[in-house]
Amino acid sequence: MVRIGIVGCNYGRLVQLPAFRLDPRCVVVALAGRDRARTAELARDANVALSFDRWEDLVEHQMIDAIAIATVPSLQPTIAVRALEVGKPVFAEKPMAADLVGATQMTRAAEATGLTTMLDFNFCEVLNWKKAKELLDDGAIGRLRHVEVNWNVENYATRMRLKNWKALSAEGGGALGNFVSHCFHYLEWFCGPIVKLSARLSGLPDDPAMETNAAVGLAFRSGAVGNIAMSCASYLGSGHRLEFYGEEGTLTLVNETADYMRGFKLNFGRRPATGLSPIVLIDDVDLGFPSDGRIAPVSRMATAFIDAVERRSPTSIAFANGLRVQTLLEAARRANDLGHWLDIEPVNTEQR
């Protein structure tokens, strides 16, 4: 039995906790938050045995075998590195850090210890996305020509004008860190390595410090090209849409709902079809959590994490993968500042 301790009382409690509980090989035994009384109350309500107001006490506790982190990006490197130092595998959130320095520290610690790590890039565990990946890999639309991502939502931080990490680029968030980090990960998962990019980042007209918009141009090693248009300041926005155009067909993933994970519709057409046809999949796990569409895909990541912990092996989304995303985020910021396209170099393992 793998005993899990979770650092973070919001996403960690609301999503990671029920996701890990779906795997009978693990048990969540501890929760850590900043407020002692509130954390103790939340732990009692969730039937979690231990509570802490210092993450250090949770990480170093003898009854805990692995750590799940759901904190602000700037704090994750310190927690993750310490957990790895004391011999505990780590499941962390994206973006993995507020900057490339923190992401590199986490990756070096993981490589030095050889312990299992995972980053919660959870779109790839949505069933319709997994089916889309299968179709693309099988050549269902032929050679990829280009891919378009349009993601228009209004998140809570923007609506309420909250100056938290999700709104501020300097803290690892903003439209780029909070949202486009997902895009960079899933586009390389779908389409292969990005070799060149351009970017234009902006904020609210009356508050430019709140980064709400990102327009990113992409070139892939395969020869395909792509675009990302993302705004988290889109009241009644059109949602999240991916369009893959190949030489022999087209595939789309479209979610017009306000739920980030649930609601994607998969459509596919191949020559000589005159229209797209839906592919319908039912996620039985998701049916058990009507209030939160994030739990089902994260539960599949939690299971993969426990699998790797038991085998003492790496995962498919380890810290090295997060470092790659952080490298792309840094490149996008440089491209925005410089005003031109940048070539993207492969990750240099000697610099980790």
**Statement: residue 5 has pLDDT above 50:** yes
**Residue-level pLDDT at 170:** 87
Task: Tell me which range, 156-165, 167-176, 322-331, is most confidently predicted by mean pLDDT.
Answer: 322-331
Of 35, 50, 39, 43, give the one whose Cα is nearest residue 3: 50
Tokens of 251: 């595939």
Fold matches, 2-122+297-319 and 127-282:
no
| Global pTM value | 0.95
Residue extents of the structural domains in the chain = 2-122+297-319, 127-282
**Statement: residue 352 has pLDDT above 70:** no
**Residue-level pLDDT at 346:** 73
pLDDT of 241-251, one tens digit each? 999 999 999 99
**Contacts within 8 Å (CB) and 24+ apart, 155-158:** 155/232, 157/232, 158/204, 158/210, 158/212, 158/232, 158/233
- Residue-wise burial string across 192-226, b where 16 or more C-beta atoms lie within 10 A, e elsewhere: eebebbbbebbbeeeeeebbbbbbbebbbeeebbb
pLDDT tier for residue 347 given thresholds of 50, 70 and 90: low
Q: Please identify which residue in the block is written with the tokens 């320095």.
A: 101
pLDDT of 237-279, one tens digit each? 999 999 999 999 999 999 999 899 999 999 999 999 999 999 9
**Statement: residue 303 has pLDDT above 90:** yes
**Residue-level pLDDT at 31:** 98
**Contacts within 8 Å (CB) and 24+ apart, 128-131:** 128/253, 128/264, 128/265, 128/266, 128/279, 128/281, 129/186, 129/253, 129/264, 131/266, 131/279, 131/281
**Residue-level pLDDT at 244:** 98
Tokens of 205: 């007209």
**Residue-level pLDDT at 258:** 87
**Residue-level pLDDT at 251:** 98
Share of residues in the chain with pLDDT > 70 (%): 98
**Residue-level pLDDT at 349:** 37
**Statement: residue 81 has pLDDT above 50:** yes
Single-letter amino acid, residue 72: V
Q: Where are any strands of DSSP class E within 170-310? A: 194-204, 207-220, 225-231, 239-246, 249-255, 265-270, 277-279
- Per-residue pLDDT, averaged over 47-68, amounts to 97
Of 103, 83, 99, give the one whose Cα is nearest residue 91: 83
Q: Which helix (H) or strand (E) holds 69?
A: strand 66-69
- Ramachandran bin of 227, using left for φ above 0, alpha for ψ from -120 to 50, beta for the remaining angles: beta
Out of 3.30.1370.60, 3.90.1170.50, 3.90.420.10, 3.40.50.720, the CATH code matching 2-122+297-319 is 3.40.50.720
pLDDT tier for residue 147 given thresholds of 50, 70 and 90: very high
Superfamily of domain 127-282: Dihydrodipicolinate Reductase; domain 2 (3.30.360.10)
**Statement: residue 39 has pLDDT above 70:** yes
- Per-residue pLDDT, averaged over 306-324, amounts to 96
Share of residues in the chain with pLDDT > 90 (%): 94
